[in-house]
């Protein structure tokens, strides 16, 4: 311990209040950094989901275009008295593609709902984490102020 310049206040060396404040500042910076990282991950997740949806929609448009082309070809053949042995395989393929596309759409709906649920859970976790950080900061400030009052 040594007195300050006015010889009125004796403080230990190193001063624990400065060390505690520095440690608190480091922890607050670390928590802010973690929150920023989680926000970046959420944005990346949203971007990747949007890209996946765009790819799926593009593929669906392409498939629908192919199906329309097939339908037009079938209609043209029908106009020319298409034989059953030619029409039946094309019709069966169209039916299988329709069933497959329907199953894919159902799967995509489930994935979209799951992603929405995951985002809601992540948002809830972020709210909980921010409340926890705010509570810890308030507790640290109150503790610091209480220690200042007791130390006088």
Whether residue 7 is contained in a domain is answered as no
Structure confidence at residue 65 (pLDDT) = 92
Residue 78 CA to residue 70 CA, distance in Å, equals 12
Q: Residue 5: which H helix or E strand, with range?
A: none
Q: Which domain holds residue 74?
A: 35-111
Residue 132 in domain: no
Report yes or no: 137 and 28 within 8 Å, Cβ to Cβ: yes
The three-state (H, E, C) secondary structure of 12-72, written as one string: CCCCHHHHHHHHHHHHHHHHHHHHHHHHHHHHHHHHHHHHHHHHHHHHHHHHHHHHHHHHH
Closest CA relative to residue 126, chosen from 40, 2, 13, 26: 40
Asked whether residue 78 is assigned to any structural domain, the reply reads yes
pLDDT in tens, 62-119: 999 999 999 988 888 777 766 778 778 888 998 999 989 888 888 888 888 888 888 8
- Establish if 133 belongs to a structural domain: no
User: Average pLDDT of the chain?
Assistant: 85
Asked, for residue 66, whether it belongs to a domain, the answer is: yes
- Please report whether residue 85 resides in a domain: yes
Q: Residue 143's closest CA among 13, 32, 24?
A: 24
Reduced to 3 states (helix: H, G, I; strand: E, B; else coil), residue 1 is coil
Q: Specify if 63 maps to a domain.
A: yes
Query: What is the count of structural domains for the chain?
Result: 1
Report the C-alpha gap between 101 and 97 in whole angstroms. Answer: 6
**What pLDDT, on a 0 to 100 scale, did the predictor assign at position 17?**
74
Mean local confidence (pLDDT), 115-141: 88
R_g of the chain, CA atoms, integer Å: 33
Quick check: is 67 in a domain?
yes
């Amino acid at each position: 311990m040594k007195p300050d310049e006015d010889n009125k206040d004796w403080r230990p060396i190193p001063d624990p209040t400065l060390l505690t404040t520095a440690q608190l500042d480091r922890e607050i910076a670390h928590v802010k950094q973690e929150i920023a990282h989680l926000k970046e991950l959420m944005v990346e997740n949203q971007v990747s989901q949007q890209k996946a949806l765009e790819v799926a929609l593009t593929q669906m448009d392409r498939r629908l275009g192919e199906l329309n082309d097939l339908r037009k070809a079938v209609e043209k053949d029908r106009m020319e008295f298409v034989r059953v042995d030619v029409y039946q395989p094309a019709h069966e393929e169209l039916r299988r593609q329709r069933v497959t596309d329907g199953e894919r759409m159902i799967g995509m709906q489930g994935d979209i709902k799951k992603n929405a649920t995951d985002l809601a859970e992540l948002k809830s976790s972020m709210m909980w984490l921010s409340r926890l950080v705010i509570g810890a900061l308030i507790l640290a400030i109150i503790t610091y102020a209480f220690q200042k009052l007791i130390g006088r």
